[in-house]
A and B are shown apart, each in its own frame.
Chain A
Amino acid sequence: MPLDLVSHKHRVADAGEAIDYCFRQGWSDGLPVVPPTEERVLQMLEAAGLPADKEVGFIKDREISITAEKVAINAVLAGCKPEYMPVVVAAIEGITDPAWAYHGPSTTTSGPAVLIIVNGPIARELDINSGENLFGPGWRANLTIGRAVRLVMRNVCGSLPAVLDRATHGHPGKLSYVIAENEQESPWTPMHVDRGFRAEQSTVTVLAADGPRQIFNQLSATTEGVLTTMADDMRISGGVVGQTYYVVLLAGEHMEIVARDGWSKTDVKRYLFENTMNNYAHLRRTQRFPMPIKPGDETRIRPLVSHEDMFFILPAGGKAGAFSSYIPGWAKASWSRMVTKEIKR
């Protein structure tokens, strides 16, 4: 396997100086990085079984070819263990897929991050968190895999904040936004199986997404009660009129109620679809659509999503607490598709 590295080499005095040097070169997201030495980069490539010159992704609108070598260097910077490299590679394959349409979601003022959902056995092997503190700190895999993807976007694709990443606000998920589904305790088939993979395969799903929004309901003992709160909160969320994707994350106590009631994913999706509709008059009055209000607008319905299958229902989050979350996708679903790639090992 050819592992000859072609990247330019920068000489520095020692490891301490290297961290400052990386900051000065503009290679960091604002946190200290691990110095990308040849030895560490080669370990990354070996763990993924990739030659250095292998093209992992190509972005037509930028004429950018992303090689395994550059992915490996950025994975080192991010603090990944070598065994995380196949996950990072699959995520890069995802965001460079023409269906994900890199230019829009990476450059837009609306500031989505790359939500990365890991499914299959690798999630357990690498200890990718699917439970308590789902989006929080404490798990190296969750924090460094997403960080590596963002550093590739920054260093290889030119998606620099305030330059080719014009997010007005963005959100903290742009540092890293990696979760796993709680497949072990789920009453349902996992997401990757729904999307055509086998349960024993491991996959990465990438979605250009807003930040998570948490809902609270400790009064309900029924699924309908829990979902009433969820739907009411979702109705005016994300871009509202864009009709994007939604990832709905049901955590411990809520998930137990839904499982006990025997609701299928389709039942949940249908309930949310039917209970998140808006009427045109309201959307015009609140300046989501242009005024004036036309005859019939009070009863003319705009669904939040184009179809109930644009809701993705996943068990994830801690066991304790009457909280669940949902994540709106970016803009319109047709502008940037959710993409799932197999993690090759």
Chain B
Amino acid sequence: MIELLDPTRELRSGQMSYAPRPSSLKGKRVALIENTKYNSDRLLEMIGEILVEEYGVAETKMYHKRYSSVPAHEEIITDVRKTCDIMIAGVGDCGSCSSGSVLDGIRLEKEKIPSASIVTHVFVNTGRAMAKQWSVPDYKFLVMEHPIANLPEDELRAKARAIVPEIVDLLLKAPETKAAMSMAAE
């Protein structure tokens, strides 16, 4: 019999604690954090326009990351916390940027800002792995079909239109965590 030492980080699994949700988006200020990938800013702009026109959002504010492979820098986080009520991040369509956008959502939920992060479908497991790294394996993010960088304007708009209901749903109603579900059962 011999004993082997575990070479891994030995992650512990925690529970995501979502920010409190508003009852509607009316009058809310929405931060859009784009990750500098081609078409990301256009897609978030289109989503922002729909939220203003159809859901009564007061204003949107576009933030640009330094580059695609990093989480939002500290100045963005601080400014969003001070001047916005809601955050939408994306669009993760590569390895380092999809997990980066997921991280932006987790960070801002911790800052009590209801958030929606969008990644493309081929990077779902990467986003999920990032959530696990932050010990919140059940963190909910949104998924859009890959790719977006090479899409023409009309197809991009159709994608924005299709995902808005999911965004609104996530921003108004926090997903049930296992802890909350077990409390409800009691």
Interface residues of A (CB under 8 A from B): 5, 7-15, 18, 21-22, 27, 35-38, 41, 61-64, 69-70, 73-74, 77, 101, 103-109, 151, 155-158, 160, 162-167, 331-332, 334-335
Contact = CB atoms under 8 A, between A and B. Distances in A.
A63 B123 CA distance: 21
B75 to A, nearest CB: 15
Nearest to A156: B9
B170 to A, nearest CB: 23
A158 B11 CA distance: 10
Contacts of B2: 11-15, 18, 35, 37
B62 interface: no
Contact of A108 (B96, B125, B129, B130): B96
A64 B9 contact: yes
Given A7-B5, A158-B129, A108 B71 contact: no
Interface string B54-95: 000000000000010111000000000000000000000011
B4 interface: yes
Of the four ranges (under 10, 10 to 19, 20 to 34, 35 or more), the interface on chain B belongs to 20 to 34
A333 B108 CA distance: 29
10 contacts: A9-B4, A10-B6, A11-B3, A21-B4, A38-B3, A104-B70, A104-B96, A108-B95, A158-B9, A158-B133
Given A109-B95, A158-B129, A61 B9 contact: no
B100 interface: yes
A166 B126 CA distance: 8
A33 to B, nearest CB: 9
Interface of B: 1-10, 67, 69-71, 94-96, 99-100, 103, 123, 125-126, 129-130, 132-134
A104 B92 CA distance: 13
A167 B94 CA distance: 10
Given A156-B9, A166-B126, A335-B67, A10 B4 contact: yes
Given A70-B7, A160-B129, A108 B94 contact: yes
B5 A73 contact: yes
B6 A73 contact: yes
Contact of A103 (B6, B10, B69, B134): B69
Contact of B129 (A35, A155, A164, A332): A164
A258 to B, nearest CB: 36
Q: Which of B2, B4, B9, B132 has the most CB of A within 10 A?
A: B4
A151 B1 CA distance: 25
Given A8-B6, A11-B1, A27-B7, A164 B67 contact: no
Q: Which of B9, B69, B94, B126 has the most A CB atoms < 10 Å from its CB? A: B69
A12 B1 contact: yes
A107 B96 contact: yes
B62 to A, nearest CB: 20
